[in-house]
Structure 1
């Protein structure tokens, strides 16, 4: 059973996440030949204040972009 885990900063809509998981499921089916029922896709979301890049939290990065 193929399992795919995606780590994301929070902020995407439920529709965006569902579409992404569907696309990933279809890619796994296409390239491995497994049944879609065998594919598990999981999204782990981190609140923006719990994720950092380049020494700044994603909250700080978003604030800096608005300036």
Structure 2
């Protein structure tokens, strides 16, 4: 049973996340030959203030892009 964990910054819609999980499920069915019912996917989301890249939080990075 493949189990996939995805870590990402919060902010996507439930529809976007569901679509992504469906696509990943189908990729595992196609490439690994497993049944969709055996695929488990979990999303771990972090608030933008709890993720950092390049020494700036994602909130700071987003604010800098808006300027």
CA RMSD, aligned part only? Answer: 0.4
Runs of 4+ in 1 over 4 A off after TM superposition: none
Number of corresponding residues? 67
For 2:43, what is the secondary structure of its paired residue? Answer: strand
Residues 1-56 of structure 1, C-alpha deviation per residue, up to 9 Å, x if partnerless?
10111111000000000000000000001011111000001111000000000000
Task: Measure, in 2, the Cα distance between the counterparts of 1:10 and 1:53.
Answer: 15
The alignment status of 1:64 with 2:64, answered yes or no, reads yes
* Unpaired segments ≥5 residues, structure 1: none
Normalising by structure 2, report the TM-score.
Answer: 0.98
Tell me which residue corresponds to 1:32: 32
